[in-house]
Amino acid sequence: VVHKQEVFRFRFHDMLQDLVNSSSQHLQDISPDYDDNNPPHGTEPELWNTRWMRKTFNMPQYNDFDPNRDIMLPVLLYMDKTGTDVNQRYSLEPILFSLAAIPRGHRESRHSWRHLGFVPEKQCNAEEETTSSMQFYHDCLSFLLDGLKEAQKQPPTLMVKFKNGQVERRRALLPLMVMMGDQLSQDTLCGRLKSNAGGAGR
């Protein structure tokens, strides 16, 4: 319960294991020794062929990466509010995640995404300030991201089936790579208050 409203979330570890299971034939083996200046043919537009990925491997929490023990699974988040009734009066905002280790062609399928939970529309009266609903949104988001934050601090162990059919236990490293959404969700995310007077309060 957040601000007296029910907020629903799913266990991140369960959703992550389910996504890894269903995407096992497509998971890219991301390692620190790749050459981002000369990526393998067909992988040029992929997110793991970026300077960001190399910088991530150089961070203290990832520079002890062991390809025989660990698996790098950069996380992508997506959020977009949607109506739940015919007149679009009651909205709900699903927070979903996928993995940059899934190639783009497969990642564009709905089967490559899992839910973290849902941000409901704040029930408020007209006297409440805009900042009140923004605070509610961020409190909900904090609750929904708890599982991911904990998994980043204490990397979970996953059962990973590789393309050769072999199943191994791997420690999952989960840096947050991208947060996607429309302008409204991104404005709310970064704390930009909507203003029609020409200035944007922050």
pLDDT at 55: 92
Lowest mean pLDDT among 12-16, 24-28, 113-117, 186-190: 186-190
Reported as a pLDDT band with limits 50, 70 and 90, residue 164 is confident
| pLDDT tens profile 67-113 | 999 999 999 999 988 777 776 667 788 999 999 999 999 999 999 99
Reported as a pLDDT band with limits 50, 70 and 90, residue 131 is low
pLDDT at 77: 96
First to last CA, the chain: 27
Percentage of the chain exceeding pLDDT 90: 55
pLDDT at 169: 96
User: C-alpha distances in angstroms, 186 versus 20, 30, 190?
Assistant: 27, 28, 6
State the pTM of this model.
0.86
Instruction: Return the higher-pLDDT residue of 87 and 48.
Output: 48
pLDDT at 202: 45
State the chain's mean pLDDT as an integer: 86
Look up residue 74 and give its two tokens: 């950069």
pLDDT at 33: 81
| pLDDT tens profile 51-64 | 899 999 999 999 89
Lowest mean pLDDT among 22-26, 134-138, 159-163, 185-189: 185-189
Instruction: Return the higher-pLDDT residue of 151 and 132.
Output: 151
Distance (Å, whole) CA 29 – CA 189? 31
Residue 114 bridge partners (DSSP): 97
pLDDT at 43: 78
CB proximity list for 15: less than 8 A, separation 6 or greater: 97, 114, 115, 116
Look up residue 3 and give its two tokens: 């601000």
